[in-house]
Amino acid sequence: MTEAKKIRVLAAKPGLDGHDRGIKVICAALRDAGMEVVYTGLRQTPEQIVAAAVQEDVDVIAMSCLSGAHSYLFPRVMEILKDKQIADILVLGGGIIPDEDLPALKANGIAEIFRPGTDTNDIVKFIQDHVRRN
């Protein structure tokens, strides 16, 4: 009966990075896969992203950062979510993210990191398999 409810995703650009080709392509792919996608636009603070996620009642936050600031920005979003005791949102990251940064990001609770060359179908599948919904 809840089948009609679509997965809701907040696509977000934290920080000052202006590379939005990737996130916009992902928005289009997720929509084509039947999800509802809200895109924040550029230059969002971690606080704004969490606030938008709450307001839009999303199941997933998908963040993209290609400026190298991910190590500060992604964990900061997780910290705010934790402060607000929000545990049911699946958080994903993407961008130019070196191998050695992956363990720390995942330890922070980022479910998966998608890097250059990822097939958007893999992202769709990951979300469908891991979304935390009742």
Partner 1 sequence: MDDWEKLKELKVKYDAQVEKVLKKFPERRPEFVNTSGIPIHRVYTPLQMQDFDYAEKLGMPGQYPFTRAVQPTAYRGRFWTMRQYAGFGTAEETNKRYHFLLKSGQTGLSVAFDLPTQIGYDSDHELARGEVGKVGVAIDSLWDMERLFAGIPLDQVSTSMTINSPCAVILAMYLAVAEKQGVPFSQLRGTVQNDILKEYPARGTYIFGPRRSMRLITDIFAYCTKEVPQWNTISISGYHIREAGSTAVQEVAFTLANGIAYVEAAIQAGLKVDEFAPRLSFFFNSHNDFLEEVAKFRAARRLWAKIMKERFGAQDPRSQMLRFHTQTAGCTLTAQQPLNNIMRVAFQAMAAVLGGTQSLHTNSFDEALALPSEQAVQVALRTQQVIAYETAVCDTVDPLAGSYYIEYLTDQIEARAQDYIDQIDRLGGAVAAIEKGFIQKEIQDSAYRYQREIEKGDRIIVGLNKFQVKEEAKPADLLKVDPAVGDRQVARLKELKATRDNSAVQTALAELKSAAEGDLNLMPPILKAVKSLATLGEICDTLRAVWGEYEATAFV
- Tell me, letter by letter, the H, E, C secondary structure of 62-99: EEEECCCCHHHHHHHHHHHHHHCCCCCCEEEEEECCCH
Nearer to partner 1, 98 or 133 (CB): 98
- Residue whose C-alpha is closest to residue 23's, from 52, 56, 60, 64: 64
Nearer to partner 1, 106 or 121 (CB): 121
Least separation in angstroms between CB 103 and partner 1: 16
Contact residues for partner 1 (CB under 8 A)? Answer: 15-21, 24-25, 27-29, 37, 39-43, 45, 67-73, 96, 98-99, 115-117, 119-121
The tally of CA atoms less than 13 A away on the side-chain side of residue 131 is 19
Least separation in angstroms between CB 89 and partner 1: 20
Nearer to partner 1, 52 or 54 (CB): 52
Q: What does the alpha-carbon distance between residue 94 and residue 66 come to, in Å, rounded to a whole number?
A: 8
Least separation in angstroms between CB 64 and partner 1: 12
